[in-house]
Amino acid sequence: MSFYSHDVTIQAPKDRLLSLMTDPFLLSGIFGHVNILRVYDQKQGKYVDFSYLSSFSNRFLVVYVFGTPDTKMHLLEGEMEGPILEAGSIVYRGWTKDQKFVWGIRFEAKAIKPMETLVRIFVNADYNVSGLDRLLGRTPFALAQHIVEEHIIPYVKHYLKTESGIGLEGIIPTKLLDEQGLFSQIVPKITKVSGDVEYGVAVIKGENVNGKMVIKNGKISGIEVNHNGQTLQGQDAMLELVSLLTPVRVTLYAVNLDEVLMSKLEKYVLANTTQGFSSI
């Protein structure tokens, strides 16, 4: 049985990463060697097409793919289970039908800051060397390492999106908080989450009320609210929101100012460099 572990720090909230790590379709795609075909239906006691699934299931019929179009493709039928939620971790595991290839991967996530998470990845892979070694052309240890360093890490580096869906000239704000309820009950959560936020904006929406709150260097630096047609700012706006007896929705976004400034600087330099070349 081979084993490989790797720690990676990701600039994203822990809850966002957990939602990604519990998506078996996303994870199987990232692994690169797993193709989900069907899903096991507990009620019917068999694998079925997804349209016939009666309830949630984390057990899948899969095809394991090894090799490349440039060499030779090898397909092996098998199964995969996951996500499996264990104490403080998310687990996926699988095997081929003949049990000659068995693997497992475990993720552990620890929030370092609101927008920074340490993810620990543990992979084990075991297969019948006399059989699969010729197909894979690698040792069991190298295969476990390959899954992490040549699939998971490149995905995190180049493709992972942690955005809220709002673009800011190529800069993607990160959603840190999305709560509904009385504003007076949400304020402590805003304060807690904002501690390490350099710059952020909270959007407030409710019945006959909407507004925004600006966060700078971990503190509320400004607030403006429109309630029943009346616009309030500062302390008056805060008091109005705290006294509301109807629920509101508060969504807090944060952005890395260094990233914004660097993006603008790069665009400026590129534009001026282009102009310089065109004048020659």
* CATH number of the domain residue 107 falls in: 3.30.530.20
Residue 157 has pLDDT above 90, yes or no: no
In a domain, 271, yes or no: no
Interval 111-130 mean pLDDT: 83
pLDDT number for residue 275? 43
151 and 189 belong to one structural domain: no
Tell me the pLDDT of the chain averaged across its residues: 83
Q: How confident is the model at residue 279 (pLDDT cuts 50, 70, 90)?
A: very low
**22 lies in the same domain as 122:** yes
Residue 45 lies in a domain: yes
Which pLDDT does position 127 carry in this prediction? Answer: 73
- Domain shared by 140 and 8, yes or no: yes
- Report if residue 264 sits inside a domain: no
pTM for the full predicted model: 0.58
Convert the pLDDT of each residue in 19-66 to its tens digit: 889 999 999 999 888 999 999 999 999 999 999 999 999 999 999 988
Q: How far apart are CA 100 and CA 125, in angstroms?
A: 11
Q: Are residues 51 and 139 in the same domain?
A: yes
Of all residues in the chain, what percent carry a pLDDT higher than 70? Answer: 81
Q: What is the pLDDT of residue 156?
A: 86
Mark whether 63 and 146 lie in a shared domain: yes
* Domain tally, the chain: 2
> Do residue 75 and residue 116 come from a single domain?
yes
In a domain, 89, yes or no: yes
Task: Identify whether residues 14 and 104 lie together within a single domain.
Answer: yes
Q: Place 277 in a pLDDT band, splitting at 50, 70 and 90.
A: very low
Q: Check whether 217 has a pLDDT greater than 70.
A: yes
- Residue 119 structural domain: 2-158
94 and 227 assigned to the same domain: no
193, 135: one domain: no
Residue 164 has a pLDDT of 45
140 pLDDT more than 80:
no
Q: Residue 141: its pLDDT value, please?
A: 45
Q: How confident is the model at residue 75 (pLDDT cuts 50, 70, 90)?
A: confident
Q: Are residues 187 and 92 in the same domain?
A: no
The pLDDT, as a whole number, for residue 165 is 44
Band (270; pLDDT cuts 50, 70, 90): low
